[in-house]
Amino acid sequence: MSKVAVIGGSGIYNLDSVEVVNKFEFDTPFGKMSSPIYELSVDGSNFYFVSRHGEGHHITPSEVNYRANIYGLKKIGAKVIVSISAVGSLKQEHAPGNFVLVNQFIDWTKGQRKRTFFEDGVVGHVSVANPVDENLHGRLCEIIKTTDINHSTHGSYICIEGPQFSTRAESNIYRSFGADVIGMTNVPESYLAKEAGMAYATVAMVTDYDCWKEEHCTVEEIMKVMGDNYISAQKLVKVMIPNLVNNPVEFTPENKYAIVTNEALISSKSKEIINTLLH
């Protein structure tokens, strides 16, 4: 079975070289996933795919069941997750159409999202000092350099609640933080992957300059760039998947010693969840 998963938009289904091998639907202890897990194949290399916003894009960033998505992928055997996400740019050098291989996150959500697996009598702590796995990030940097995609290999992603875009005042605050791009989904997704002992990395596709820049950009224009970005994403997936599948990224899960609660106090249901996350 595949160890590699991609979380992203449904545009990946349109890649000519992708074959649908299987489809999995099952319940998780945290509810329903955003979409079925599709097992896809690129040139004989299989990987899993979940549509973050659901098929047809009907789930808002705040409504995504991040825990179910990560848990479901871990349960099926995925070890590595690559997020492919649309973002706005907070710096001049990250122009629309460019990709940014994010290596840090800033959480600016509003507390509406379930952001940990450890609850209901279970206390656990996992470091997210390096939320993006360094080995996976390094591999993606090598892979994208083999393509003609304009890109940056480092950057900080600030995650806001949405679904509205920023005010200009907010956008300038985020720029003062040193953030490179802005999005609405990769937190708590990346943090939950850490709790699940998975290697996570983000390919951020720039659709527009956030409103700090004195130029108006319509939703229609953004959607046009998104369409072009998905063409680039498909190019990347075609070379990325065989590389990651045939030469697995080595990493050390950081959740092994996360649980601090006395085992005798943990319910059988929670033990089953913990067993999935830690193995």
Residues 191-238: pLDDT tens digits?
999 999 999 999 999 999 999 987 766 777 777 888 889 889 999 999
For domain 4-278, which CATH number applies: 3.30.497.10, 3.60.10.10, 3.40.50.1580, 3.40.50.1000? 3.40.50.1580
Please indicate whether residue 227 or residue 258 has the higher confidence score (pLDDT): 258
Q: What is the pLDDT of residue 18?
A: 86
Catalytic residue check, 208: yes
Q: Which amino acid is at 52?
A: R
How many whole angstroms separate alpha carbon 166 and alpha carbon 170? 6
What is the tens place of the pLDDT at every residue in 113-139? 999 999 999 999 999 999 999 999 999
Pair 267, 118: CB distance under 8 Å: no
Q: Which of the residues 16, 133, 210, 228 is marked catalytic?
A: 210
What's the pTM?
A: 0.95
Report which DSSP code applies to 205.
Answer: E
The per-residue DSSP string of 63-118 comes to: T--HHHHHHHHHHHT--EEEEEEEEEESSTTS-TT-EEEE-EEEEE--S-S---S-
Given the residues 107, 133, 180, 208, select the one marked as catalytic: 208
DSSP secondary-structure letter at 11? G
Percent of residues in the chain assigned helix, strand, coil, to nearest 5: 30, 25, 45
Please give the Cα distance from 141 to 154 (Å, whole number): 9
Does residue 4 carry a pLDDT above 90? yes
The region, left, alpha or beta by phi > 0 then psi within -120 to 50, assigned to residue 221 is: alpha
124: DSSP letter? B
Least confident of 3-17, 118-132, 260-274: 3-17
Backbone angles phi, psi at 206, to 5 degrees: -75, 125
User: Beta-carbon neighbour count of residue 220 at 10 Å?
Assistant: 7
Closest CA relative to residue 64, chosen from 113, 23, 110? 113
CA 212 to CA 168: how far, in whole Å? Answer: 5
Q: Which of 135-149, 174-188, 218-232 has the lowest mean pLDDT?
A: 218-232
Cα dist from 213 to 89, 115, 228, whole Å: 9, 32, 22
- DSSP character at residue 5: E
The pLDDT of residue 11 is 59
Q: How confident is the model at residue 41 (pLDDT cuts 50, 70, 90)?
A: very high
Q: Which of 100-109, 186-195, 208-217 has the lowest mean pLDDT?
A: 208-217
Phi, psi values for residue 148, rounded to 5°: -100, 20
Based on the residue annotation, tell me whether 148 is a catalytic residue of this protein: no
- Mean pLDDT over residues 136-163, rounded? 97
